[in-house]
Structure 1
Amino acid sequence: MEKTNKKVLIISIVGTIIALLGIITGSLWITVIYDWAITKILTLSPSSISNDMWKETPIPMYFKFYMFNWTNPHEFNASSNVTPHFVEMGPYVFREIDYKVNQVWNDNGTITFQRKKVWFFEESLSNGSLTDKITNLNPIVATVGFSVKHKSILIRKMINSLMMRLGEKLTLTKSVNELLFEGYNDTLLEIAKKMKTTNMPFSKFGWFYGRNGSESYDGTFNMLTGSTNLYNKGLNKQWNFKNRTDYYESSCGIIDGSNGDLWPPLPNNNTVSLFIPDICTVLKLSYANTTTFQSVTGNKYIGDDKMLDNGEKVPSRQCYCPNGDCGPSGTLNISSCKYGAPAFVSMPHFYLADPSYKNAISGLLPNPEKHQISIVIEPTTGIPIQVQAKLQLNLLIEPIQHMSMFENINKTYIPMLWFIQEADLTASYANQVKILLILPTLGTVTCFGIAGIGVLIFFIGIFVYIRQKLRSEDNQVLLSKYDGDIRNRNDI
């Protein structure tokens, strides 16, 4: 009987301990334990899960280029009444792998690194070949003209004479590969560099020449890891060792925003900032709605009419206008970022831009489904679910006196190309995200389930104790009756 009581006591104590542990752990799970666990998982560190996914592109990512072929350049050059017409060609699809290299982990909660992007042409996914010929504005001629338009008449005449002797034309025809990655030699470029008309550092011209496989092209980033504040994770603190650029004035030159592949939790953000080294600044995307992909729900942010505003709707954006001179809303002047070239970025097909851009040319058909910039981010973890980064590169040409190629033309923004950087969360990674999202419920249910088991064990102990007690009392009654019977027989 004594041994049984001890067993019952042990069972009850064990049940009580399990129940208390379950209740305490369940109560602390959401408020303390889950926050600690999710912080450990999401914070970037040399040994973290998030670092394994970030240091090399974990999901398929594609770069799709669309080139604009100018079909009537001779007519445009001969008469100011002719509207330039363009035919879109492509897409020319490249698979992209993004490596984070030369990593240095700093004591102040940041990491310094460079990005090495490698592209592989995917002909089976493309509508065309890299040998396709594209006719469009001559970027070197346009840049030289833009750089000397305010110079003296003598200098403009000298440059014009030089370009005529070299046989330069307002337009040129090159293959897609030459225009994108391979590049091409140009005598005018060599002369312009010697004359310091341009500070372009490359021996050839190509929109992405020298970039494929380069570790230094995009610059050096200093980014917050989230170790001091998870809600700052992935945000740039410096670029090329400065917290602002000299390409734009005032607040427009501040380095901020995410590189697009790593975000902090964004539970209630109305906007997100995306830093793009190609344009040396940040673009702000606005919250649109929630959407679901791979059964994961995220917040969708899009480029709206304020993203490339000229200062009318967003006064703070006036600092993007050189000398306070803003053009029509819908393009961003990036000439200072692009070696003095008359380069302007817009959304593809001048989507949401001032109508004057599209009215000056023909062949472009803006469509929100095709040309809207968007990114979908899971708000609890900050993991991007879908990325559709889209921009169009345009070059400005305008009349320049004493330069024959520019005298009979209207001021026009010529579309050169546009691209999509596209990435979708795969099913396997989506399942991992789902596990992170159900951890609060799963942990709470599990902990209180364990507590319930502890309570059950405790009551089992009580039940065993009561049953043993009842059996003991029954035995006592039986023994008493037995003793009475014996005494009665003896009396006889």
Structure 2
Amino acid sequence: MMIQLSGSSLFQTRSVKELLWGYTDPMLRGPLGVFHPYNGTYDGPYSVFTGKDDINKVSTIDSWKLEQSLSYWNDTYCDMINGTDGSSFSPFLDKKTSLYFFSSDICRSVSADFDGSVDLKGITVYRYMLPSKTFASPVDNPDNLCYCTNTQTTKNCTLAGVLDVRVCKGSPVLISLPHFLHGSKDLLELVHGLDPNPEEHFTYLDVEPITGFTLRFAKRLQINMMYGPSKDIKILNKVKENTVFPILWLNETAVLDDDTAQRIKAELFSRIDTLETVQIALISAGAVILVLSLIGVCVVNRRSRISYVA
């Protein structure tokens, strides 16, 4: 009835720009779009530590939107704002230590684990990846229990691979990795055409270990909505149970340019190499002086013994 009264249609033809950044829906009589109203906006302000008093806290978020914790999840643990914004971390990274960063897109903090060293334009960087437990069900990862706010959507908190962000976004949106990577089998079986591939669908950070700067990253997320059985809408009359349907997935990727890579190698690594060369030279000179001194001591002692005998 609402569709008929508004003169609209269930199926509409829209441009990519309208779908992403918004259009006026005739039935809702308001703007509707995947990224509306994010175009031309920012998610701050952030207050971060400079590292002046503690180098290990450099770039760590102290507060976001003037608050030191979130208010979405009604839980102290899940409402914590941990780590940085992902653009940089404290210097001299330890492979055994996970990196933490906060993402306002998914309304929570996450961690990334060391996966290996890779070469980026002649610079060795540490690759950190989101672990599979990030969107795991509370059955496998009890720490995620406080993110389970809708038992119907998550099948009594047993569904893995999706995060219900209605509490912070205000709309019934479920966030996951593309193609429900690391998700429950139910998510893949109920929708045809899905093919999760870790090489294409995982999120990672490539961080230079000395400076802690992120030199390349790929943030990949999928936006989903849940639909249930409906006899009134033909497109949904074959849906037999509540099903999470993918709307789109996005790949936000950035990498340092060639000029910046050359400058980093020239101003950072060349000086480190110079210091190492000087260090080796000083150690070698010290060793030579020590050996000569020992030889000199031995020669003097020997002459003294010869003189005493004579």
In the superposition, the TM-score normalised over structure 2's length comes to 0.79
Q: Which of the numbers 184, 188, 211 marks the counterpart of 1:354?
A: 184
Work out the CA distance in 1 between the residues paired with 2:199 and 2:279.
Answer: 46
In the TM superposition, what is the alpha-carbon distance from 1:269 to its structure 2 partner?
A: 4.4
Work out the CA distance in 2 between the residues paired with 1:269 and 1:248.
Answer: 29
Alignment match, 2:28: 189
Contact kept in structure 1, 2:3 and 2:10, CA below 8 Å: no
Change (3 A) 1:450 1:180: same
Q: Which of the numbers 11, 15, 31 marks the counterpart of 1:204?
A: 31
Alignment match, 2:80: 254
Work out the CA distance in 2 between the residues paired with 1:163 and 1:244.
Answer: 41
Q: Does 1:394 align with 2:234?
A: no
Within-5 A mapping of 1:302-381:
302-322=129-149, 325-339=156-170, 341-381=171-211
Question: In the TM superposition, what whole-angstrom CA distance separates every residue of 1:126-145 from its partner, at most 9, and x where no partner exists?
Answer: xxxxxxxxxxxxxxxxxxxx
In the TM superposition, what is the alpha-carbon distance from 1:450 to its structure 2 partner?
A: 8.1
Alignment match, 2:56: 231
2:68 aligned partner, one-letter code? N
Alignment match, 2:295: none
Contact kept in structure 1, 2:138 and 2:158, CA below 8 Å: no
Change (3 A) 1:304 1:447: closer
Change (3 A) 1:351 1:450: closer
Contact kept in structure 2, 1:267 and 1:380, CA below 8 Å: no
Contact kept in structure 1, 2:139 and 2:158, CA below 8 Å: no
Indicate the SS of the match to 1:442: helix
Alignment match, 2:68: 243
Q: Does 1:220 align with 2:45?
A: yes
Change (3 A) 1:172 1:232: farther
The structure 1 segments of at least 4 consecutive aligned residues displaced by more than 6 Å after TM superposition are none
In the TM superposition, what is the alpha-carbon distance from 1:364 to its structure 2 partner?
A: 2.0
Greater CA deviation, 353-362 or 273-282? 273-282
Contact kept in structure 2, 1:285 and 1:307, CA below 8 Å: no
Question: In the TM superposition, what whole-angstrom CA distance separates every residue of 1:20-46 from its partner, at most 9, and x where no partner exists?
Answer: xxxxxxxxxxxxxxxxxxxxxxxxxxx
Name the one with the larger helix percent. 1
Q: Which of the numbers 147, 166, 173 marks the counterpart of 2:13?
A: 173
% identity of equivalent residues: 28
Structure 1: which 5+ residue stretches go unaligned? 1-160, 191-202, 457-492
Question: In the TM superposition, what whole-angstrom CA distance separates every residue of 1:37-74 from its partner, at most 9, and x where no partner exists?
Answer: xxxxxxxxxxxxxxxxxxxxxxxxxxxxxxxxxxxxxx
Structure 2: which 5+ residue stretches go unaligned? 290-310
In the TM superposition, what is the alpha-carbon distance from 1:264 to its structure 2 partner?
A: 1.5
Larger Rg belongs to? 1
Alignment match, 2:255: 424
1:314 aligned partner, one-letter code? N
In the TM superposition, what is the alpha-carbon distance from 1:438 to its structure 2 partner?
A: 5.0
Contact kept in structure 2, 1:328 and 1:354, CA below 8 Å: yes
Alignment match, 2:264: 433
